[in-house]
Chains A and B, each alone.
Chain A
C-alpha cells in the first residue's frame, strides 16, 4: 500500500455511485415495466378466466384466433423471405439512393393504418391492374385472408427489415471475406457464415414482426372485415356488446400469443450465441 489515501477513498465513492445508479436504473426499469404490464395484467386477470372458458364454447372466437395465427405467421414468412435479402443489401452494400430506399421502407410505419388499408386497396383492389390480374387468376384480395396478410405485411415488414439489417450489420464482414478467400461463393458464405451469426437477430426481428401483425386492426378492417381476425373480433364485440364480451377475446389473444413469443425468444442457436456482440 504505497498510496493509501487516494485509493481507499476513490473506491468506495465509485462503488456508492455505482450502487445509486443501479437503484435508479432498477426503479426506472420497474416503473416502466409496470407501465407496460399493468394494462395487460388488468385485462388478462379481468377476462382471462372467462376468455379461456369461451375458447371451448365460442366457435367464432376459436376460428378468429386460428385465422390470426395463420395469417400473421404467413405474413411473417413473407416478410422474412422478401425482407431478408433487402436487409442484407442495406447492411452490406453501398449504392446510390440507399438512404432513400431505407427511408421509403420506414414509410409504412408512419402512415395512419386506415389510410394504409385504402392505399393497398387502390393497388390491389379489383380496379387496379394488379388486382385485375389476380382476380383473373382466381385470387381475391379484398374480403379474403389474402387481404389480411397483405395488410399485415405492409404495416409490420418495415420492423423486420430494420431489425434484420441491424443483425447483419453486427456481423463482421471480415468473416465473410475469409470464407470467400477460402473458396466459398457469395451465397455459400452467406449461408454458412453470415446467416448463422445473425440468426438470433433475425429471429428477434421476426418475432417483432409477428407480434405487430397480430395486433393490426386499422388496415385489415378496410381490406378484410370478414373473416374476422382477433383484433377485429374484439372491436366488434366491444361495439356490439360492450366490455364484458370484448375483454375475454383480448385476454385470450394475449395469453395464447405469449406461447410463440416465449418460445421464439428462448431460441438460442449455439453458433450465434458465442459471437453475438
Chain B
C-alpha cells in the first residue's frame, strides 16, 4: 500500500508536533538486567538506526524504550526551554551541543556517525530513469521538476542543503547554479525538517528532495550520491566545505548567524539531569561499542570506526566503549 510507505515521514512529523516527555516512576534495577525505562530523544534522520540499537539493548536489559524523534533544534529546545530531560540525546549536528546545550545541560558529547547529503527521489519522479550523479544539475532544471528542501532556519539539513548547492556551483564551475536550484525549490517547496519531506515526496508532490543518505536508505527511497567535495560526508574534504557559508536566523528572528560548511557528524550525550542516568550510560556505552557500531552499520548508518568524545565529564564506561576495537 502506498500509505504504508508514507508512514516514516508522517511519524517523524507527528513526533515533532510537541509531545510531552514521558515520565516514569523509579526504576526497579534487578541483579542481571537493568530494567526500568530509557527515554531517548533522537534526531529524526537517525531515528531508525538508533531504534535498531535500542531494540537490541532493550531486549537484553529488559528496559522499556521511550523514543521521541524530532528535529535537532526541536530537541534542544525541549531541554532548554521546556525542561523536558531525556536520558539520552542524539543530534544530527554535533555543533548543536556547544551552541545550545553546553555547559548547562551537559559537559560532553560523543561524535559517533557520519552522514552525507543526497538527492532522494522515487520511481514516479520526473526523469527518474535518466538522473545520475553527474547529470543531476541539468536534469533538475528541466521543466516541471519540483525540488523540496528543509527550512535552513530550523533544521541542519536545511542549511546543509544551501551549503551543498553552493559547493555544487563551485565544483561544477557553473556560475548561477545555486540561484537556479533555489528557484526550483521556492518557499512553497520548503517543509520544516528533512523528515517532513519524505511523505510529501512519496505523495508525488515533489520529484526530488535534499536528504541524508541514512534517511533515504531507511525510508527505502532511491537516491543519487553526490561528489564527495559537495556532499559534506568526507572529513578529508573539510577544507573544501569551509569555502561555503550561508546566513540563517540567529537567536531572534531579526538576527542572522553565519554557518560555514563542515562534515556532517552525529553526536550523542547524556544530560546532567537525566531521570535514569544509569540506563542512559549503559545504552550510550553500548551504542559506541563495536557491537553498537555494527548494529548501526547494519541499519544503514555510517558509524565512525572510532567515536570521538569531546568535552569533559563523560562516564568512564562510555569512554572505554568508544575506544574499544
Contacts and interface: CB of A to CB of B under 8 A. Distances in A.
Interface of A: 58, 60, 112-115, 118-119, 121-122, 125-128, 140, 142-144, 217-218, 221-222, 224-227, 235-243, 245
Interface of B: 2-3, 6, 9-10, 13-14, 17-18, 71, 73-74, 77, 80-82, 124, 146, 151, 153-154, 187-192, 196, 199-200, 203-205, 249, 251-253
Contacts of A217: 17
A242 B192 contact: no
Given A118-B6, A226-B188, A127 B14 contact: no
A60 B187 CA distance: 14
Nearest to A58: B253
In the A-B complex, the 7 residue pairs with the closest CB atoms: A143-B188, A127-B204, A226-B187, A121-B203, A114-B13, A243-B81, A125-B205
A112 B14 contact: yes
A118 B9 CA distance: 10
Given A125-B204, A222-B200, A241-B252, A236 B188 contact: no
B77 A238 contact: yes
Contact of B203 (A127, A221, A225, A239): A127
Central interface residue in A115, A140, A239, A243, by most chain B CB within 10 Å? A239
Contacts of A125: 203-205
Contacts of B18: 235
A144 B191 CA distance: 13
Contacts of A224: 188
A144 B188 contact: yes
Contacts of B77: 238-239, 242-243
Contacts of A122: 2, 203-204
Interface residue SS majority, chain A: helix
Nearest to A141: B205
B191 A126 contact: no
B253 A60 contact: yes
A139 B196 CA distance: 23
18 contacts: A122-B2, A125-B203, A126-B146, A126-B204, A127-B204, A127-B205, A128-B204, A142-B205, A144-B188, A218-B13, A222-B200, A225-B188, A226-B187, A226-B190, A236-B154, A240-B153, A242-B81, A243-B77
Nearest to A246: B81
Contacts of B151: 225, 236
A52 B289 CA distance: 53
Contact of A221 (B2, B13, B153): B13
Contacts of B3: 118-119
B186 to A, nearest CB: 8
B17 to A, nearest CB: 6
